[in-house]
Amino acid sequence: MRRETVSKSDYLGERAIVVGGGIAGLSAARAVSDRFREVVILDRDKLPDGVIPRPGVPQGKHPHGLLAGGLKALEELFPGFGDELRKVGAVPLNRGLDLLYEIPGLDPWPRINIDHPTYALTRPLLELTVRQRVARVSNIKVRGGCRVVNIIADPGTGAATDICYYTSQGKLETLRSDLIIDASGNGSVTLEFLKASRRTLPEETCIEVNMHYSSTLLDHANIGDNYKVAYTLPDAPKDNRGGLLLPAENGTYQLVLIGRGENIPPLKESEFRTYALKLHTPTIYNAIKNAKLLSEIAPCSFKQSRWRHFAQVFDFPRGLLPIGDAICRFNPVYGQGMSSALRQACLLSELLGRSNQDLLSTLPQDFLSKAEDIVAEPWAMSAVPDFVYPDTTGVRPEGLEERLNFQKGLSRLAARDAGVFELLSDVRNLLKPLKALDDPSIVSKVESELTSELSLSSAATAA
């Protein structure tokens, strides 16, 4: 296997340690590999050589969305990564031609060619492909079967300096580090260290969504009209059942059915198919009615979106950085988690590229404050629709009703205006900032759309 050597000799330190070998951890390891002589990834799982879901990824059996902004970040970290995805069988997707969005009350969105394609594939294949690319970087070592116990602080400064862990052979070891990155997902490594060093814990913003979903792999599907993906959204707030059907490698298809509260997608095949038939349209049911299930129907529940505001911890320790889900765990139905983590890894790479002589002392606050900005936009895009449901709890965004109305008008406008549709797609794929939708010309069109809708509604009521 050809190894990629690091490009710089001006190392910031001898060793960086990454806790967690998922997408966030792998991308973070590549981000720091040019500035540390050695990078060690510690993961609790014994990492598979094949395309196999692993216990450490609780949603590993379920479809994952690689947004175009996430793919762009992967390409920045691993040049040519899109070509590698094609070689392993990932299915290229044109966001303007291949995706059928079924939104109750709206006409289908335009079918136009949009640049910046993305890919559909199973999560295990994506992770394996990234891990194989990381393995080609000469100074990165990946160690599976390692359980982290705790972080050790310097007694004088309180900085994170060592990590204590059990090796795959069950031996307790301590490893010295100049930087520890917590990509463990639950963030417990960071939280426990903050507690042990008597620091303030971060405030959290939480949204209780009480979501359930069940997924399976199918041997084929036929959506029709040359669509590759079908996404049937619920008729909110009257109903909360939805479904997503998308391709995967080797001609297979991934299907996830979604519900909230008491609507729990079943695990028995006949009932699972009946649930698909009860979606707002029969599109997904018709596409899979003759398909054979290739895997068990795997369940998952997601109770709460959670955003930890580590940037507000004024004495956050030197030598430690949380990343990805350790900072923010998004509602998975919007497919933002991986792409947000990948963008954070690119941010880390950018910050480490500076020539600041004492870069490691300023890195935590610089990274955490800018990571807050990266999280803010996808969080806003998912928080608003989540609050459509009255039983959703949490701090409701300011001006929620106005924002919900704006979103509704924007979606109606996008169904008729190809330019608005493309802009909306770019924003949702994290390629353009959310503020792009605040352009006066867009706002004016949306306001006209809402006024027209109100007039039609009033006329219908009067009739």
273, 212: one domain: yes
CATH code: domain of residue 221: 3.30.9.10
CB 142 within 8 A of CB 131: yes
178, 323: one domain: yes
Query: Residue type at 212?
Result: H
159, 221: one domain: no
183, 232: one domain: no
The answer to whether residue 82 sits within a structural domain is no
Using the Cα atoms of residue 345, residue 350, residue 351 and residue 357 in order, give the sign of their dihedral. Answer: positive
44, 188: one domain: yes
132, 159: one domain: yes
CA distance 220 to 193: 48
352, 230: one domain: no
The answer to whether residue 95 sits within a structural domain is no
pLDDT at 457: 54
User: How many angstroms separate the most distant Cα atoms in the chain?
Assistant: 78
The answer to whether residue 115 sits within a structural domain is no
The answer to whether residue 70 sits within a structural domain is no
271, 246: one domain: yes
The answer to whether residue 72 sits within a structural domain is no
The answer to whether residue 389 sits within a structural domain is no
Q: Which residue has the tokens 């580590």?
A: 310
CATH code: domain of residue 55: 3.50.50.60
212, 296: one domain: yes
Last residue of a domain, one of 303, 327, 354: 303
The answer to whether residue 268 sits within a structural domain is yes
Cα distances from 458 to residues 48, 111, 253, 463, in angstroms, run: 60, 32, 44, 9
Domain that residue 158 falls in? 13-60+123-203+313-382
Last residue of a domain, one of 277, 303, 329: 303
CA distance 275 to 31: 43
289, 319: one domain: no
211, 327: one domain: no
223, 186: one domain: no
437 Cβ contact partners less than 8 Å away, ≥ 6 residues apart: 410, 423, 424, 427, 443
| DSSP notation for 249-276 | GGG-EEEEEEEETT----SSHHHHHHHH
pLDDT in tens, the chain (463 residues): 344 554 555 789 999 999 999 999 999 999 999 999 999 999 999 999 999 999 888 788 999 989 999 999 999 999 999 999 999 999 999 999 999 999 998 888 999 999 888 999 999 999 999 999 999 999 999 999 999 999 999 999 999 999 999 999 999 999 999 999 999 988 999 999 999 999 999 999 999 999 999 999 999 999 999 999 999 999 999 999 999 999 999 999 999 999 999 999 999 999 999 999 999 999 999 999 999 999 999 999 999 999 999 999 999 999 999 999 999 999 998 889 999 999 999 999 999 998 776 899 999 999 999 999 999 999 999 888 899 999 999 988 888 899 999 999 999 999 999 999 999 999 999 999 999 999 999 999 999 999 887 665 554 454 4
Residue 140, CA atoms < 13 Å, CB-side half-sphere: 28
The answer to whether residue 76 sits within a structural domain is no
Last residue of a domain, one of 271, 303, 335: 303
Question: What would the two tokens of residue 58 be?
Answer: 């609780």
CA distance 8 to 35: 7
Number of domains in the chain: 3
Q: 83 φ, ψ to 5°?
A: -65, -35
